[in-house]
Structure 1
Amino acid sequence: MKKYTLLLCFLCATVFLFGQEPMEWNPDYELQLSDYQSPESEIDSSLTSYSIYSGSKIDFSFNMNSVSFMFTKNFNSKVRAIFQKNLAVLIAPDSVTANQLLLFGRYDFDLVELYARKIRKKIYEEKGAFSDSKLFQPIFNELQEEMNTVSAQVFKATNFGKDAVMLQKEHNKVKQEINTLSDFCLSCKPKKSKD
């Protein structure tokens, strides 16, 4: 009996840990209200304000020796657009407002994927055989800053996503750009340029 109790505790802990893993961007999945799992998330009619923290971000990491690094050109799999459910916060006084904020959250997650692809592309274009890892940080910083500016501008211009027509227009632009950068998806191998 003790053995089964220990096994059950291990399985529960494993499920809990894996439940906390960040969700990678997927073209076939749209964020849902249930994805905003921070304890601060709530929809409550007594609230007089609303806000969203999307939980979306670009994750960039690699671990390789200098020889492997020198011969690696494609870093697509090292730059990920992720959504952290346990950090995603959505606060709204009603379901209408919550769904407007959710639409902005979906836009923002797609925007993160777009900028992950832009980072992948720029690394692919600029990394030479003798480049070192110092190449990455300026690229990441520049495009991260640009992404944050675009997100803030759309957030303000759409009044927190309340202007659904404008938000949809901006979202369609982002989706189109994602498709344009199809060679730079997480699992893609960019085509060699013909010089």
Structure 2
Amino acid sequence: MKKIIIIAFLLIAVQINAQNAIEWDGKYQIQLSDFKSKATQIGNVSSNSIQNASGLNFSIQMSNIEFMFTKNFNSKVSSTFKRESASIIATDTITAERMVKFAQYEFDLSELYARKLRKDLYVNKGTFSDISFLQPLYDVIQKEYVEEHGEASKKTNLGQKKDILKKLNDDVLIRIQELSDFCKTCKPLKKKS
């Protein structure tokens, strides 16, 4: 009986965690209701801020032999948005909704950089590479992601400049499509010699 109760609690915990994280799929659009942090507040504030919980994650668990013969790491890199960690503080609803659009841009941008990382891993992984080749690639991608995100933050004033944000987001979506072989579930085509 104890085992059944423990298993039930574990299943509930997994379900709750799954509901908290949204994995990028190209269809889901971030909503104001996705900002579930207790810090979220619309109105009665003097400044605006956003704590977006989008990011690219890399997780790998395999033996050295398995690693040696693995070339495609697409499934090991993901782009997620964590609802419980996301917050918006906005002076009014219109400002908040524009910030939500900026959060969608951030989510799409994290998928773009996840795809870039997947491609870099695929291109740079040799048969006898060891796990140490991963960190420098990840560091470069992370730096580029932070720089592009920071520039967009300034250019759009956290999404308040709607036209600029739309152009930036459209560009990110085009670049995501250019890396279509590197979606999480894709298998990149081998280059012909």
Distance 1:164 1:111 in 2: 17
Counterpart residue type for residue 39 of structure 2: E
The 3-state SS of whatever aligns with 2:26 is: coil
Match of 1:24 in 2: 23
Q: Structure 1's 48 and 16: CA in aligned 2 closer, same or farther, altered over 3 A? A: farther
Distance 1:74 1:99 in 2: 38
The 3-state SS of whatever aligns with 2:170 is: helix
The 3-state SS of whatever aligns with 1:138 is: helix
Q: Structure 1's 136 and 23: CA in aligned 2 closer, same or farther, altered over 3 A? A: same
Match of 2:78 in 1: 80
Counterpart residue type for residue 102 of structure 1: V
CA displacement 1:86-126 (0-9 Å, x = unmatched): 11111112110001100100000000000000000000000
Match of 1:34 in 2: 33
Shift of 1:39: 1.0
Shift of 1:15: 4.2
The 3-state SS of whatever aligns with 1:20 is: helix
Shift of 1:42: 1.5
Counterpart residue type for residue 191 of structure 1: L
Counterpart residue type for residue 49 of structure 1: S
Query: Unmatched 5+ residue regions in structure 2?
Result: none
Identity of aligned residues (%): 40
Counterpart residue type for residue 144 of structure 2: E
* Mean Cα deviation higher: 17-26 or 132-141: 17-26
TM-score, normalization by structure 1: 0.91
Shift of 1:184: 0.1
Report 1:144-183 matches (<5 A).
144-183=142-181
Match of 1:99 in 2: 97
Distance 1:83 1:130 in 2: 34
CA RMSD, 1 decimal: 1.6
Counterpart residue type for residue 38 of structure 1: S
Shift of 1:177: 0.3
Distance 2:33 2:149 in 1: 22
The 3-state SS of whatever aligns with 1:82 is: strand
Match of 2:42 in 1: 43
Shift of 1:194: 1.5
Report how many residues are paired. Answer: 187
